[in-house]
Amino acid sequence: MSTKDKTKQKIIELTTNLNKWNSEYYNDNVSSVDDTIFDKAMEELIKLEKQYPKFKQENSPTNKVGIMAASTFEKAEHSIKMLSLNKVNTKDELFHFFKQVTDKVGNVSYTVEPKIDGLSISIIYKNGKLDRALTRGDGIVGEDVTNNVLQVKSIPKTIEDKKELIIRGEIYLPITEWTRINKKRLAQDKEPFANPRNAAAGTLRQINPQVVKERNLSSFIFQVVKGATGENWFDTQEKTFKGLKDLGFKVIKETFKSNDYEKLYEKVIHLLDGRADNDYETDGVVIKVNENKYYDELGYTSKFPRWAIAYKPPSEVKETKLINIHPTIGRTGRVTYVASLEPVKFADTMVRKASLHNYDYISILDLRIGDTVQVKKAGEIIPKVISSIKNEAHDKNEVYPKATICPSCGDKLINIEGEVDQYCVNDNCPSRIQESLVHFASRDAMNIEGLSEKQISKFIEIGIVNSIIDIYRIKFEDLIDLEGYQKTSVNKLLASIIKSKDAGLDKLLFALGIRHIGKKSAKELAHRYKNIDALLNLNRDKLISDEDFAHVKAGSIVKWFNDETNQILIKELKDIGLKVTYERKKIKTSDKFVNKILVITGTINGFKREEAKEYFEALGAKVTTSVSSKTDILIVGENPSDKKINSIENAKIISIKSKDEL
């Protein structure tokens, strides 16, 4: 066949596939392919049609802009346009966004949160009642899906605020619901939904609200575009979330606020790396200026606000062979299935392993060992198998059986009623011990340099450590004869272990790996109770009332501290001199800064921005980001903001270019 004929055939094939997928998506609410594959096919068709216009088919999907099924929903205009978010793909582009904001309004704080992969929704409340819910549509006119939104449990039907309120957010289908629905569909010989987003889209546009009710959609609300004026409960992103939560809306928990670009980027990567273990899918991260007062000054384009941006690393899809499947055990005992792949090259790395989540994921994709599979990777996110290519080989390959025993300790795996995941509940399981030690020593926990996965697995293997306390019992003689260790490296590791004893209560509480206690809760607990002894004697109801802690968290803390083995561990940690108290860092005694409202502009050599802030806070100052009439002291470092210096009224200006001057 000539190249021309081949191209013609390719154009016909792409046209047929894309039309089929479109029709399945819009008319039958099913998607047989992942969005990335759809986009790739569309891109290729556009390219080929441009090169060979005469081969373009009459029914080409490229003729239609946003193909829609005949709509049965009433259209309605948004009283305030529904904007979208501009996107960046790289760290440089993200930092360029920060720079553009800073150039316009000076140094500000930002929030970072996951970008939920669902459908945008705009909801109007009148007189405290849910009045109308509209899809985005083209941003100007949306579809009235009120009856379906009324079926979403997390969206309140009535609220206390009686003013007209317009809120916006995302409707999504939890991953566990997607798996449950697909299992049911497979049992009924129906095509499964390719991913939770498509399932949510199909559900929201269902004619029968009863079907919507059964599908258990959920929501996150993150914006107030009208209402609650004058009360200022939404003048920052943080307050918006709190205000919305108080009104009864479900809001995203993983928000992070900082004015340090590197820290913000670190959080972006953390959210993207897929380890966050949430019951929703994300398609990037959203970074927003925290204070709403800058929004008007920063402005808008016709499509996007200039005060927020979505970060989405470019994603690639490659084909390779599935060599094997292994169940692995995490520190909580949860089983994660991992695929071993024939090595496949992506833009920046060679991929040999990919995540398969749980067994239901494997059975829904009908993955069999020996299959040719499609693997997706985006930025630093763990690669994921997204489909298997169904061909003759697939039919001959064997179905992979569900694991029944723990691959590490051999105990029977447990299925919790109503949960997709399987667990190994043996507290002495070697895999669980290893993973909890890795977590204990990790950077955000006790930060023991030179003690990561590789070393811990080796130390366990040769019997040097088997529990947290063993880390503090490692001796020079245990390590000096090991391969890869010399005097300096052994001393360095031992020094780092000793240093970690002073990490403080907040780090320790996080490091202990108590279920549901992340970094933020650990800090809150440490801040409030100051000493681990106070936590040993807590009761659950007191914890809930003191801390406004969710019941699950409070229950988990009390359970952990009531366990005798854990109490022994704490005693041993105290005995070896581990600091089990929390105090703000005190560096120097000087009362020059006590109770002073202080703003830092520019950089101080030797300090990261957040460290400089912590330093002055330790000296008793209250560090804020913007200059006002209340500011007492302005610290001026290198490259300061002229705007800040010029807007000073009575404040004292202190120039500090380097840490050494302090």
Stretch that binds ligand IVH, among 109-117, 232-240, 319-327, 439-447 (CB under 6 A): 109-117
Looking at the Cβ atoms of 308 and 635, the one nearer to ligand IVH is 308
Stretch that binds ligand IVH, among 305-313, 377-385, 472-480, 650-658 (CB under 6 A): 305-313
Question: Quick one: which of 30, 37, 115, 547 contacts ligand IVH (CB under 6 A)?
Answer: 115
How far apart (Å, rounded) are the C-alpha atoms in residues 8 and 20? 18
- What's the closest the beta carbon of residue 146 comes to ligand IVH, in angstroms? 18
Contact present, 192 and 182 (Cβ < 8 Å):
yes
Contacts of 580 (CB under 8 A, 6+ apart): 505, 508, 531, 532, 533, 570, 573, 574
How far apart (Å, rounded) are the C-alpha atoms in residues 644 and 626? 8
Contact present, 553 and 528 (Cβ < 8 Å):
no
Stretch that binds ligand IVH, among 113-121, 369-377, 404-412, 570-578 (CB under 6 A): 113-121
C-alpha dihedral sign at 511, 512, 513, 514? negative
Residue 285's DSSP bridge partners are 114, 311
Contact present, 139 and 84 (Cβ < 8 Å):
yes
Looking at the Cβ atoms of 280 and 615, the one nearer to ligand IVH is 280
Taking CB under 6 A as the rule, does residue 223 contact ligand IVH? yes
Question: Quick one: which of 167, 308, 364, 468 contacts ligand IVH (CB under 6 A)?
Answer: 308
Question: In which residue are the tokens 């723990």 written?
Answer: 406
Question: Quick one: which of 11, 14, 83, 134 contacts ligand IVH (CB under 6 A)?
Answer: 83
Residue 344's DSSP bridge partners are 351
Stretch that binds ligand IVH, among 7-15, 81-89, 551-559, 628-636 (CB under 6 A): 81-89
Residue 374's DSSP bridge partners are 319, 387
Looking at the Cβ atoms of 143 and 421, the one nearer to ligand IVH is 143
Residue 110's DSSP bridge partners are 258, 289
Amino acid at 659: K
| Burial group, residue 44, by CB count within 10 angstroms (0-12, 13-18, 19+) | middle
Contact present, 323 and 342 (Cβ < 8 Å):
yes
Stretch that binds ligand IVH, among 83-91, 98-106, 180-188, 540-548 (CB under 6 A): 83-91
Looking at the Cβ atoms of 308 and 420, the one nearer to ligand IVH is 308
Number of shown-chain residues binding ligand IVH (CB under 6 A)? 15
Stretch that binds ligand IVH, among 32-40, 82-90, 127-135, 602-610 (CB under 6 A): 82-90
How far apart (Å, rounded) are the C-alpha atoms in residues 310 and 623? 29
Alpha-helix residue ranges (DSSP H) falling in 52-144: 91-105
Question: Quick one: which of 16, 71, 84, 545 contacts ligand IVH (CB under 6 A)?
Answer: 84
Structure tokens belonging to residue 108: 């500000």
- What's the closest the beta carbon of residue 39 comes to ligand IVH, in angstroms? 16
Furthest C-alpha separation in the chain = 86
Stretch that binds ligand IVH, among 80-88, 123-131, 436-444, 610-618 (CB under 6 A): 80-88
Residue 368's DSSP bridge partners are 399
Contacts of 152 (CB under 8 A, 6+ apart): 171, 212, 217, 218, 219
How far apart (Å, rounded) are the C-alpha atoms in residues 643 and 265? 26
Taking CB under 6 A as the rule, does residue 286 contact ligand IVH? yes
Looking at the Cβ atoms of 222 and 337, the one nearer to ligand IVH is 222
- What's the closest the beta carbon of residue 380 comes to ligand IVH, in angstroms? 20
Query: Pick the catalytic residue: 4, 75, 87, 115?
Result: 115
Q: What burial letters (b/e) apply to 531-558, b meaning 16+ CB within 10 Å?
A: ebeebeebebeebeeebebeeebbbbbb
Contact present, 123 and 167 (Cβ < 8 Å):
yes
Taking CB under 6 A as the rule, does residue 358 contact ligand IVH? no
Contact present, 453 and 440 (Cβ < 8 Å):
no
Taking CB under 6 A as the rule, does residue 549 contact ligand IVH? no
- What's the closest the beta carbon of residue 112 comes to ligand IVH, in angstroms? 9
Looking at the Cβ atoms of 84 and 658, the one nearer to ligand IVH is 84
Beta strand 633-636 pairing with 652-655: parallel
Question: Quick one: which of 107, 120, 236, 237 contacts ligand IVH (CB under 6 A)?
Answer: 120
Looking at the Cβ atoms of 308 and 354, the one nearer to ligand IVH is 308
Enumerate residues 165-184 that contact ligand IVH by CB under 6 A: 170
Residue 135's DSSP bridge partners are 121
- What's the closest the beta carbon of residue 310 comes to ligand IVH, in angstroms? 6
- What's the closest the beta carbon of residue 311 comes to ligand IVH, in angstroms? 11
Looking at the Cβ atoms of 203 and 223, the one nearer to ligand IVH is 223
Stretch that binds ligand IVH, among 233-241, 303-311, 430-438, 520-528 (CB under 6 A): 303-311
Enumerate residues 241-270 that contact ligand IVH by CB under 6 A: 252
Residue whose C-alpha is closest to residue 240's, from 226, 260, 219: 226
Contact present, 125 and 165 (Cβ < 8 Å):
yes
- Active-site residue flag, 157: no
Question: Quick one: which of 34, 35, 49, 113 contacts ligand IVH (CB under 6 A)?
Answer: 113
Residue nearest to ligand IVH (CB): 120
Structure tokens belonging to residue 133: 């819910």
- What's the closest the beta carbon of residue 27 comes to ligand IVH, in angstroms? 24
- What's the closest the beta carbon of residue 223 comes to ligand IVH, in angstroms? 6
Enumerate residues 476-535 that contact ligand IVH by CB under 6 A: none
Looking at the Cβ atoms of 286 and 543, the one nearer to ligand IVH is 286
- The count of other CB atoms within 10 Å of the CB of residue 340 is 15
C-alpha dihedral sign at 241, 247, 249, 250? positive
Q: CA–CA distance from 8 to each of 3, 20, 50, 51, 214 (Å)?
A: 9, 18, 12, 11, 45
Structure tokens belonging to residue 541: 């109801």
Looking at the Cβ atoms of 306 and 507, the one nearer to ligand IVH is 306
Question: Quick one: which of 85, 149, 166, 578 contacts ligand IVH (CB under 6 A)?
Answer: 85
Looking at the Cβ atoms of 135 and 259, the one nearer to ligand IVH is 135
Taking CB under 6 A as the rule, does residue 116 contact ligand IVH? yes
- What's the closest the beta carbon of residue 347 comes to ligand IVH, in angstroms? 24
Residues near ligand IVH, by CB under 6 A: 83-85, 113, 115-116, 120, 170, 222-223, 252, 286, 305, 308, 310
Catalytic machinery residues: 115
